[in-house]
Amino acid sequence: MISRRPQGTAEVQLPRTISVSAATTAMQCGWRHYLRYVLREPEPSKGGALITGIVIDRLAKLVVASVQVGDLKVGDIDTAPMFDEVWQAEEEGCPVPIHWGKKGRDASRDTALGVFEAFCALPDLEERISTIVAADLRFEMPLRDPVYDVIVPGITVVGVLDFVQRQDDGRIRMLDVKTAASRANWSGDLSQDLQAAIYQVALRDQYGPDAVAPSAAWWIGLKLKKAEWIDREAEIPESSERRAQLLLRHVVQAVAHGAARHPQPNLFCGGCPWRDTRCRDWQDREESRVPVDIFAADTLEIAESQI
Ligand code: SF4
């Protein structure tokens, strides 16, 4: 009898950390999470939208930091050379091929430049920058199980906040920079946003409960023909924090129990970089075949242990 096991799924060290992006990946596809966060395989390629997002994120932080230390003046930013430098570094530093999609590399680059120019042209940019009190704030905190109100042993929640923003009442909150192809995904209720809820818990963990407002904000660069920036903010209630912590707890549990160790290619795989290299035909590969002795008393156990 032959059982089938995807390559590289022998004994592995489970991750001791969980992040919002790891949990989100696990919810989208358990196998993709397994490849990236458990086996730690580098992705075979990167999407162009991801590169654009990283470039805009880096540029926004560069502008904020440079204005705050006085190296740059709002209204006097030479956008093209600044953009060129960051774009080139990101493109040339990418260790895997970049898939630019139908739009292509040059049009994607022009769009990204437009988004950056629109950012620098925001009429209240100076005022916005004056509200930022920290950038790229890294955190590590224990994972709390909100049902039993206990710390989950051996797991640390990690992440990086784009910005920490001070409100008029003196309290701080998360501010995240995003890029989006349309405003549609940002038109709904954001009070249950996983990232916002976890980052709020992390801020409270670092700064204390009274210092943090139950609120989150986003600056969103829209990659439209004529780029523009929109603002979103939301109240993040305590119930949302508990829900987010429980979700991370479930992901940790699912991973520990070996859930989703088989690829299940489906309609929603979209542009996943592992589709052709890892998933599409894994059952047919010679190295996936594992002989199992059907007369062995623990055959079922053996087969189970191999998935
Ligand atoms: S191709 Fe599909 S099944 Fe495979 S890792 Fe990507 S999303 Fe998951």
Residue 14 pLDDT > 80? no
Q: Each residue of 96-153: pLDDT tens digit?
A: 999 998 889 999 999 999 999 999 999 999 999 999 999 999 999 999 999 999 999 9
- As given in the structure block, the two tokens for residue 224 are 């439209």
Torsion of CA 68, 74, 76, 80, to 10 degrees: 80
pLDDT per residue as tens digits for the range 56-73:
999 999 999 999 999 999
Residue type (1 letter), 204? R
Query: Residue 271: which pLDDT band, with cuts at 50, 70 and 90?
Result: confident
Task: Please tell me the predicted confidence (pLDDT) of residue 15.
Answer: 83
pLDDT tens-place string over residues 79-104: 999 999 999 999 999 999 999 988 89
C-alpha 188/C-alpha 218 separation (Å) is 13
Q: Is 262 in the pocket of ligand 1 (CB under 6 A)?
A: no
Task: Determine the pLDDT at residue 70.
Answer: 96
The conformational region for residue 91 under phi > 0 = left, psi -120 to 50 = alpha, else beta, is: alpha
Is the CB–ligand 1 distance for residue 275 below 6 Å?
Answer: yes
Residue 124 token pair: 């209240």
pLDDT tens readout for residues 18-47? 999 999 999 888 888 888 998 888 888 999
229: closest CA among 174, 179, 184?
179
> To test ligand 1's pocket by mutation, which of 31, 36, 99 has the most ligand atoms within 8 angstroms of CB?
31
SS3 63: helix
Question: Is residue 307 scored above 50 in pLDDT?
Answer: no
How much is the pLDDT for 275? 84
Q: Which of 301, 289, 268, 283 is nearest to 25 (CA)?
A: 268
Q: Is 37 in the pocket of ligand 1 (CB under 6 A)?
A: no
Do 109 and 59 meet the contact criterion of CB atoms below 8 Å apart?
no
More confident call, 231 vs 275: 231
Residue 86's nearest CA partner among 61, 105, 120 is 61
pTM of the model: 0.86
Task: Check if 26 has its Cβ closer than 6 Å to any atom of ligand 1.
Answer: no
Architecture of domain 132-250: Alpha-Beta Complex (3.90)
**What pLDDT, on the 0 to 100 scale, is given for residue 283?**
67
CA of 275 to the centre of ligand 1 (A): 5
The atom number, within ligand 1, closest to the CA of 28 reads: 7
Q: Is the dihedral of CA 117, 123, 124, 130 positive or negative?
A: positive
pLDDT of residue 30: 86
The per-residue DSSP string of 74-106 comes to: TT---HHHHHHHHHHHHHHH-SS-EE-TTT-HH
Pairing of strands 46-47, 98-99: parallel
Residue 30 Cα: closest atom of ligand 1? 8
CB of 274 within 6 A of ligand 1: the answer is yes
First to last CA, the chain: 15
Q: Supply the mean pLDDT for the chain.
A: 89
Q: What is the predicted pLDDT for the residue at 277?
A: 81
Percent pLDDT > 90 in the chain is: 68
Place of tokens 């699912």: 254
Sign for the CA dihedral angle at 107, 108, 110, 114 comes to: positive
Domain locations in the chain? 46-129, 132-250
pLDDT tens, position by position, 190-226: 999 999 999 999 999 999 999 999 999 999 999 999 9
296 — pLDDT class (breaks 50, 70, 90): low
Tell me how far the alpha carbon of residue 259 lies from the centroid of ligand 1, in angstroms. 14
Atom of ligand 1 minimally distant from the CA of 275? 1
In sign, the C-alpha dihedral spanning 139, 144, 150, 155 is negative
Which pLDDT belongs to residue 306? 46
Per-residue pLDDT tens digits for 153-165? 999 999 999 999 9
CA of residue 268 to ligand 1 center, whole Å: 8
**For ligand 1, atom 7, which residue shows the shortest CA distance?**
269
pLDDT at 258 over 80: no
Which residues, at least 6 apart from 150, have a Cβ–Cβ distance to it below 8 Å? 144
Q: Are 249 and 152 in contact (CB under 8 A)?
A: yes
Neighbouring CB atoms inside 10 A of 106's CB total: 9
Ligand 1 centroid–CA 60 distance in Å is 32
- The answer to whether 8 touches 41, Cβ cutoff 8 Å, is yes
Distance 5 CA to ligand 1 centre (A): 16
State in Å: Cα 288 to ligand 1 middle.
17
Q: Is the CB of 54 under 6 A from ligand 1?
A: no
For position 302, what pLDDT does the model report?
46
